């Protein structure tokens, strides 16, 4: 419930701070006194876009702050979703700066207007003539019937599954659309894959292959040079091996003369040993060396294939070719299993379709069961509101198409007079009739669900006499379960309130200001007497006002 409202520097309001109680609060005032200004300020708190022209004094910021007691509203999950700190006493503040920039806060945390609207829709409902038109919209009609049918949980489960169902359908459609293209690519991918498989990439070492090619391609030169090197090292007269031995023998004769000479002899000895090893390896390499034209051709062909593949796939490493081969195999496997994937997806959709139909049937049956109760209550209230011949019908038709509301078409049909026929509500009910129908529906809803605080903005327009008494009684009855505000010009309704506020204008220093005052008992009698007889209050008007209040 709304516990207080603070407005500063907005339209004709300098500063206003008012507290509210539960029950039925009446707001009255002469035409043009500023009741719409009060509603405008409250609308800003609820997320309406700000306008710099609404600021009273341009060089000062406009502040509107509302405090709500939300203990009974079960909003902890919503606060968690909006990433806000939950507090039973929740404060919503809007600021319009002199620059024109607007800011919004929930419990002192900056929020977007989207977050503000998400929360405020649970807190207060400003019911204007414009909102009455919601009654003719499908979504609102479903909302009414489902509230009475207690379909909230069923609709939540249905909605979750419907989202999954639509995603699966989209995936299936994409699979089928891509099937033709994938099949076209299949032959080419298979060709490329086979081409890569033929050379057995796992067994190819490019460096070894290139070395092998160089050896086979230069076997004669290699043999010649190996033989020449061996001859130089092992020649009988000038061979390096013999010369090393001669140096070693000469150094051995002087090793006893110092460590330096011993070290030189050891080093030349090591060189001699290394030369012998080299000679042995030269002999081995020369013995193994042989010309093999067929192997040379095989190695050359393999290198040519690898280089062609490098060029074709724009890569330079064997590992990159392996990755391409794996990717191609994956595409081939996906294409080969595409029909199976499509079949599995279709089976999954069928199962979900069956589950959705089960929920849709539950939702439909609960709606069907509650509609006669709703129609009976509505017609009874409308009769008391001066529409004794009004007849209501709710057409509920099961369809084959899934929508966010299940599988039903639902329509409110109305017949205002005897002898006429049922027609769509928006075509058959006048503005005044729609207002009374909306009031009746709100009063019925209040029996079934926790409604937010509601502010009726002159819902009694065009109503008088006994009907206005009944409207007041209905709002009074609703206020036993929720907080109700009503802006009214009718004394019969004003007298039903638990508290009474008056909106009025004053002129100070040639500047007009709008103010709001809570009336005491005596002031309330005077206000209702003026509503009955005008500014010149008569004794009979005062007596009548007292009678209404009693």
- For 3-15, give the DSSP string: EEEEEEEETTEEE
- Buried/exposed 299-337: b ≥16 CB within 10 Å, e otherwise: beebbeebeebbeeeeeeebeebeebbeebeebbeebee
Spacing of C-alpha 222 from chain mean position: 74
Residue linked to tokens 């903005």: 457
List the domain boundaries for the chain: 1-123+452-519, 186-336
* Phi, then psi, of 467 in degrees rounded to 5: -65, -40
- 3-state DSSP: the chain helix, strand, coil percent, rounded to 5? 60, 20, 25
| Model pLDDT for residues 488-515, shown as the tens digit of each residue | 989 999 999 999 999 998 888 878 888 8
| Model pLDDT for residues 337-361, shown as the tens digit of each residue | 788 888 899 999 999 999 999 999 9
Which of these, 25, 133, 175, lies nearest to 494 by C-alpha position?
Answer: 25
Helices then strands, counting H and E runs in the chain, come out as 19, 15
Which of these, 132, 163, 135, lies nearest to 410 by C-alpha position?
Answer: 135
pLDDT band at 228 (very low <50, low <70, confident <90, very high): confident
Q: Which fold has domain 1-123+452-519?
A: Rossmann fold (3.40.50)
Please name every residue paired with 15 in a beta bridge, in sequence order, or none if there are none.
8
**104 vs 318, 420, 466, 473, CA distance in Å?**
61, 51, 44, 37
Q: Which two tokens stand for residue 278?
A: 């080299």
Average pLDDT score over residue span 226-244: 73
C-alpha span between 404 and 384 (Å, rounded): 35
DSSP state of 491: H
Residue linked to tokens 């249905």: 158
C-alpha span between 186 and 144 (Å, rounded): 55
pLDDT for 2 equals 95
- Buried/exposed 22-38: b ≥16 CB within 10 Å, e otherwise: bebbbbbbeeebbbbbb
| Model pLDDT for residues 78-129, shown as the tens digit of each residue | 999 999 999 999 999 999 888 888 899 999 999 999 999 999 989 998 887 6
Spacing of C-alpha 200 from chain mean position: 50
**28 vs 24, 127, 465, 512, CA distance in Å?**
13, 16, 18, 18
| Model pLDDT for residues 384-393, shown as the tens digit of each residue | 998 899 999 9
């Amino acid at each position: 419930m709304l516990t207080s409202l603070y407005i500063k520097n907005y339209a004709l309001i300098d500063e206003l701070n008012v507290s509210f109680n539960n029950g039925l609060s009446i707001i009255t005032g002469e035409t043009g006194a500023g009741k719409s200004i009060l509603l405008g300020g409250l609308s800003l708190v609820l997320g309406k876009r700000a306008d710099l022209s609404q600021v009273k004094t341009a060089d000062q910021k406009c502040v509107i702050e509302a405090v709500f007691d939300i203990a009974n509203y079960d909003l902890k999950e919503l606060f968690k979703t909006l990433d806000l700190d939950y507090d039973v006493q929740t404060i919503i503040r809007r600021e319009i700066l002199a620059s024109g920039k607007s800011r919004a806060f929930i419990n002192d945390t900056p929020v977007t207007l989207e977050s503000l609207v998400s929360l405020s829709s649970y807190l207060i409902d400003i019911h204007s003539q414009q909102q009455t038109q919601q009654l003719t919209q499908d979504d609102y009609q479903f909302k009414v019937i489902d509230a009475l049918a207690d379909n909230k949980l069923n609709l939540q489960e249905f909605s979750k599954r419907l989202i999954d169902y639509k995603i699966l359908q989209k995936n299936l459609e994409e699979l089928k659309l891509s099937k033709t293209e994938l099949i076209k690519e299949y032959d080419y991918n298979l060709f490329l894959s086979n081409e890569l498989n033929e050379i057995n990439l796992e067994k190819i070492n490019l460096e070894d292959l290139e070395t092998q090619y160089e050896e086979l391609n230069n076997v004669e030169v290699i043999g010649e040079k190996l033989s020449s090197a061996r001859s130089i090292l092992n020649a009988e007269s000038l061979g390096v091996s013999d010369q090393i031995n001669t140096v070693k023998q000469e150094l051995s004769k002087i090793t006893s003369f110092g460590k330096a000479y011993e070290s030189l002899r050891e080093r030349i000895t090591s060189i001699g040993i290394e030369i012998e090893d080299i000679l042995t390896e030269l002999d081995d390499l020369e013995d193994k060396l042989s010309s093999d034209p067929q192997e040379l051709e095989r190695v050359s062909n393999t290198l040519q294939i690898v280089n062609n593949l490098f060029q074709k796939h724009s890569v330079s490493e064997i590992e990159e070719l392996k990755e391409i081969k794996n990717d191609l195999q994956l595409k081939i496997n996906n294409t080969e299993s595409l029909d199976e994937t499509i079949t599995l997806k279709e089976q999954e959709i069928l199962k979900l379709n069956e589950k959705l139909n089960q929920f849709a049937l539950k939702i439909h049956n609960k709606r069907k069961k509650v509609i006669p109760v709703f129609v009976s209550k509505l017609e009874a209230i409308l009769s008391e509101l001066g529409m004794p011949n009004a007849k209501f019908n709710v057409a509920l038709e099961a369809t084959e198409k899934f929508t966010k509301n299940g599988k039903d078409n639902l329509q409110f049909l109305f017949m205002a007079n005897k002898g006429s026929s049922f027609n769509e509500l928006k075509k058959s009910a006048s503005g005044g009739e729609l207002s009374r129908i909306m009031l009746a529906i709100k009063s019925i809803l209040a029996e079934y669900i926790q409604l937010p605080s509601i502010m009726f903005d002159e819902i009694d327009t065009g109503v008088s006499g006994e009907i206005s008494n009944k409207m007041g009684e209905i709002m009074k009855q609703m206020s036993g379960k929720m907080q109700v505000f009503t802006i009214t010009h009718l004394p019969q309704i004003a007298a039903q309130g638990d508290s009474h506020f008056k909106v009025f204008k004053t002129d100070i220093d040639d500047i007009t200001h709008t103010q709001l005052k809570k009336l005491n008992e005596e002031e309330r009698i005077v206000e209702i007497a003026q509503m009955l007889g005008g500014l010149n209050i008569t004794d009979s008007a005062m007596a009548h006002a007292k009678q209404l209040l009693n």
